[in-house]
Amino acid sequence: MSSTTSPSEELKSYSVWDKTTRWFHWINVISIIGLIGVGIVILNNKALAVSGDGKILLKTVHVYIGYIFAANLGWRIIWGFLGNKYSRWTAVLPINKGYWQSLSKYIASARAGDPQTYLGHNPLAKLMIALLFMLLTAQAVTGLVLAGTDVFMPPFGNNIAEWVAEKDPEGNAVAIQAGSKDGVNKEAYAEMRDFRKPFITVHYYAFYILLLAAMVHILFVVVGEVKERNGLVSAMFTGKKVASKEPVDLD
């Protein structure tokens, strides 16, 4: 009489995500939730009857959360060259040698009902990760510029303030405050607003694309967790994934 092995006994555990990658993931999630929450209030400030000072406060809070978001993203970009095998860019983005062949094989295996197992990101997931990182970078870069044009905060705030401020008899920029037109040169301010237009446009639309991409990402994570039983969600806490067959990217 032959014995059968239970599914749980067939699963083998592997160390995949290092601590830095896991910390980045959750700081990024929390930062984005905070930025979305504050951003929605800013966008709807009139409907919510937010005062002028209240709007400046909200923008300031948004910028401070944005600093955390941008610093975390910057460190992850660096870590893509320093981290373990599964955290490096060659394992995260669709840039490794033979990627398109790997993508074709993965899609074929998925269509056959037996998708290949990957410890890191599978070839299809790499496309989503690439999109997410492009959107995150766009938000960080445009956000830092807008921090200077809206509330004169670093890294470009001083330059923007000097640009739009009236000059004293000695040619020095007078002190100005965010939300106030006192000491602001109208022509220079109009030029600055024209300068910021492409940044606010990218920031605005990339936000909605990022929101949609994040929802699709979460959906595929849940589907992958249910179908492959790979511990994808828990791996972002423990660093370990499980697999019932040998992963393609194990070596």
Residues pairing with 165 in the sheet: 184
Alpha carbons 58 and 69: distance in angstroms, whole number: 16
Q: Answer whether residue 10 shows pLDDT above 80.
A: no
**Residue 60: both structure tokens together:** 């300031």
Residue 198: the pLDDT is 97
Q: Model confidence over 74-116: pLDDT tens digits?
A: 999 999 999 999 999 999 999 988 999 999 999 999 899 888 8
Q: Model confidence over 123-173: pLDDT tens digits?
A: 999 999 999 999 999 999 999 999 999 999 999 999 999 999 999 888 889
Residue 1: the pLDDT is 36
Q: Model confidence over 34-55: pLDDT tens digits?
A: 999 999 999 999 999 999 999 9
Alpha carbons 6 and 9: distance in angstroms, whole number: 5
Residues 59-75, mean pLDDT to the nearest whole number: 97
Residue 51: the pLDDT is 93
Alpha carbons 96 and 102: distance in angstroms, whole number: 10
| DSSP string for the chain | ------HHHH-EEEE---HHHHHHHHHHHHHHHHHHHHHHHHHTTTTTT--HHHHHHHHHHHHHHHHHHHHHHHHHHHHHHHS-TTTSHHHHSTTSTTHHHHHHHHHHHHHTT-PPP-SS--HHHHHHHHHHHHHHHHHHHHHHHHHHHHH--TTTHHHHHHHHB-B-TTSPBPP--TT--TTB-HHHHHHHHHHHHHHHHHHHHHHHHHHHHHHHHHHHHHHHHHHH---HHHHHHHSEEEESS--TT--
Closest CA to 206 of 137, 154, 155: 137
Burial profile 66-89: b = 16 or more Cβ within 10 angstroms, e = fewer: bbebbebbeebeebbeebbebbbb
pLDDT band at 57 (very low <50, low <70, confident <90, very high): very high
Positive or negative torsion for Cα 174, 178, 182, 188: positive
- Give domain limits for the chain: 17-160+199-243
17-160+199-243 CATH fold: Fumarate Reductase Cytochrome B subunit (1.20.950)
pLDDT band at 6 (very low <50, low <70, confident <90, very high): very low
Closest CA to 189 of 201, 204, 178, 202: 178
Alpha carbons 27 and 192: distance in angstroms, whole number: 33
What crossing angle do the helices spanning 123-151 and 99-111 adopt, rounded to 10°?
A: 120
Write down the pTM of the prediction: 0.90
Residue 91: the pLDDT is 94
Positive or negative torsion for Cα 163, 165, 166, 167: negative
Q: Model confidence over 200-236: pLDDT tens digits?
A: 999 999 999 999 999 999 998 888 777 777 788 889 9
